């Protein structure tokens, strides 16, 4: 089950890593890339490896590595290959070609999310999504992508639809929504997250603990949604048992297999959230 909230924490700030691990975020992403100054790259990797060794085994801890072609990635891959406590996965930024993503993934034993942050990467997204069995997700890095595309406002709306399509066509999980950078605008975060869910995303990267609860709630099926989904599944099952080909809900609306499948997704996500026991 894809986590709802992915809390980023700068790898060179060991004082924040422990707090992030103890937070209500479904997953923690220790950042080795943009949030870490050049002089602190080695310290960030050391802190990340130590956190992986010390964290509870059930805690989902991911790393955001440095970009392909950067001065630090090779050492990060070497250290990860030798660690007795690997991360749940890594987020690989600046993904642009399936060949480079596959070659990097070959050196890892964990799952990989390729982050698309350029026009070139966007065009290659369908191939990147299929380039390696351990690439289990793709997502957008919207700040860098917007800069590369020279867009603003809703200019990335089509790119969001494209990345969702590429992921699902490759059989991957729904993409994780990109960060909401306005930390002091919780209402905007809530609205944007609900919209993201309707667009086909599931879960969201967050950059502040105050954003966790908002995102968890937005990506948790409400009691009303769960109730409707349960009624759809039960209605379809009853009609099938009775040998009826046409299935209608209590409001007389036709229920086809796709509607039933979507209802099951809602129930599966609700069940996974309850089992996980993470605060909404």
Q: Which residues does the annotation place in the binding site for Mg(2+)?
A: 117, 144
What SS3 class is residue 9?
A: strand
What SS3 class is residue 127?
A: helix
What SS3 class is residue 248?
A: strand
What SS3 class is residue 29?
A: strand
Q: Which residues are annotated as a binding site for substrate?
A: 64, 117
Write out the DSSP string of 6-73.
Answer: EEEEETT-HHHHHHHHTSS-SEEEEE-STTS-GGGHHHHHHHHHHHHHHS-TTS-EEEEPPPTTSSSH
Q: Which residues are annotated as a binding site?
A: 64, 117, 144
d(CA 69, CA 100): 9
Angle between helices 119-129 and 98-106 (to 10 degrees): 60
Cα torsion 138, 195, 269, 238: sign: negative
Write out the DSSP string of 187-237.
Answer: HHHHHHHHHHHHHT---EEESSGGGHHHHHHHTS--HHHHHHHHHHHHHHH
What SS3 class is residue 159?
A: helix
Strand residues in 70-161 grouped as ranges (E): 89-92, 111-116, 135-140
Rg over alpha carbons for the chain, rounded to the nearest Å, is 20
């Amino acid at each position: 089950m894809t986590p709802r909230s992915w809390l980023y924490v700068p790898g060179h700030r060991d004082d924040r890593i422990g707090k992030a691990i103890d937070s209500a975020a479904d997953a923690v992403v220790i950042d080795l890339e943009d949030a870490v100054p050049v002089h602190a790259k080695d310290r960030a990797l050391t802190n990340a490896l130590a956190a992986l060794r010390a964290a509870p085994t059930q805690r989902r801890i991911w790393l955001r590595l440095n970009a392909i072609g950067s001065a630090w990635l090779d050492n990060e891959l070497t250290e990860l290959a030798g660690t007795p406590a690997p991360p749940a996965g890594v987020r690989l930024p600046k993904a642009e070609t399936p060949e480079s993503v596959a070659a990097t993934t070959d050196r890892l034993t964990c799952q990989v999310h390729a982050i698309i942050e350029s026009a070139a990467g966007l065009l290659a997204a369908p191939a990147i999504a299929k380039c390696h069995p351990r690439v289990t997700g793709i997502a957008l890095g919207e700040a860098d992508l917007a800069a590369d595309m020279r867009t603003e406002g809703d200019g990335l709306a089509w790119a969001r639809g494209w990345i969702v399509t590429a992921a699902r066509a490759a059989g991957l999980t729904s993409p994780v929504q990109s960060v909401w950078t306005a930390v002091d605008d919780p209402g905007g975060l809530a609205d944007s997250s609900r919209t993201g869910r309707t667009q086909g995303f599931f879960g969201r990267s967050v950059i502040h603990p105050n954003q966790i609860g908002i995102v968890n709630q937005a990506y948790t099926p409400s009691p009303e949604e769960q109730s409707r989904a349960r009624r759809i599944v039960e209605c379809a099952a009853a009609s099938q048992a009775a040998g009826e080909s046409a299935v209608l809900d209590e409001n007389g609306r036709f229920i086809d297999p796709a509607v039933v499948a979507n209802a099951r997704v809602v129930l599966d996500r609700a069940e996974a959230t309850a089992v996980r026991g993470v605060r909404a």
